[in-house]
Structure 1
């Protein structure tokens, strides 16, 4: 099968994308509708491979679909300055840094909980369950 006449399965294999995802990207306009064969099967070409590979890379970097769409729109205008793409990348970098900070706080809390455990004890004495259970300020358990 030539690269200009790819089935949806072949496109998926080439790009590491599930068939359902390709159909979804077509439905929302991220990937243009392909030509159809005489038997009404989708027929993808080189531009689909290039575009889907780009989308996969951008998604792998954690960009949301609306940003993918914006980047595709910008990429389709090669004479435009790239400042808007730079801004989108910086915005994503800040989001990743925020998530890393959240994960570091989560790790610290889990580490604190793990060190409260008295190995081999009974559930009634479990410090982790106690620490996770909601309590009133006077020590009574919340319903």
Structure 2
């Protein structure tokens, strides 16, 4: 199949497919006599795997590690567990950071009501005052 068909089957953008090839996450396909890339069913499977990992927020490096473990089926999956535990910790840290951001925004929002003019807007004042504290 050609790259357009692969893109359509997997929901991936053509440029993304080429990017994954350059990064070594997706094997370069054989070329037909006319120079077109000839993708196989294996490419579909690997690309869907990559896309699923990306949907979980995994980095390209993490995906590469998972692929290397996957390529050695006799290897214990301890490395996969360690990688996922680390990724879960990163997600939890992001959640905590987003919750802190939410709290700051809620506090900022409480500084103003709809009855004020923008000159007296507590939100705008808070943003200016908060900016003065930045290094």
TM-score, L = length of structure 2: 0.92
List structure 1 runs of 4+ shifted beyond 3 angstroms.
none
- Match of 1:11? 6
Q: Which residue matches 2:39?
A: 44
Count of aligned pairs between the two proteins? 133
Say which structure is richer in helix.
2
| Partner SS for 2:129 | coil
Contact in 2 for aligned 1:15/1:49 (Cα 8 Å):
yes
- The corresponding residue for 1:85 is 80
Structure (1 or 2) with the larger CA radius of gyration: 1
For structure 2, list consecutive stretches of 5 or more residues without a partner in the other structure. none
CA deviation map 1:36-64 (0-9, x unaligned): 11211111001111111111111110011
Please say if 1:107 is aligned against 2:102.
yes
What is the distance in 2 between the residues matched to 1:70 and 1:118? 51
Name 1:97's counterpart in structure 2: 92
Specify the alignment match of 1:3 in structure 2: none
Deviation, structure 1 residue 141 = 9.8
RMSD of the alignment, in Å? Answer: 1.8
Structure 1: gaps (5+ residues) = 1-5
Q: TM-score, normalised by structure 1?
A: 0.87
